[in-house]
Amino acid sequence: MYHMLLCMRTTIDLEDRLYRELKRRASEEGVSMKALVHDLIRRGLAPPKRREKYRFEWKVDPLGTIQPGVRLNDRESLFDLMDGR
């Protein structure tokens, strides 16, 4: 099967600093400016990678005690106790 690759030619204005940085990186990576810009645009347009959900695990000192009325699963009541309310 024959796949035809279509390309769109366009002109963009780049800040001098960005242009110099692109030229430097392309040279360092041994690729053309076109290849580098295509790669950077593809990465910029890719959906964000999902990060692993943070999971907090309580570590309780076996000798420690919890004050009466403290509910570790109630954030607001913990803040109230810490603030002296």
Q: Show me where the domains of the chain are located.
A: 16-45
Q: For residue 81, what pLDDT is reported?
A: 78
User: Could you write out the DSSP letters of every residue in 41-82?
Assistant: HHHHHSPPPPPPPP-------TT--PPTT--TT-HHHHHHHH
In the chain, what's the furthest Cα-to-Cα distance? Answer: 74
Note the pLDDT tens digit of each residue in 26-84. 999 999 999 999 999 999 999 988 888 888 776 666 666 677 777 778 888 888 877 77
Q: Over the stretch 4-14, which tens digit does the pLDDT of each residue have?
A: 677 888 899 99
In angstroms, the CA 26 to CA 4 distance is 27
Closest by Cα among 48, 47, 22, 27 to 37: 22
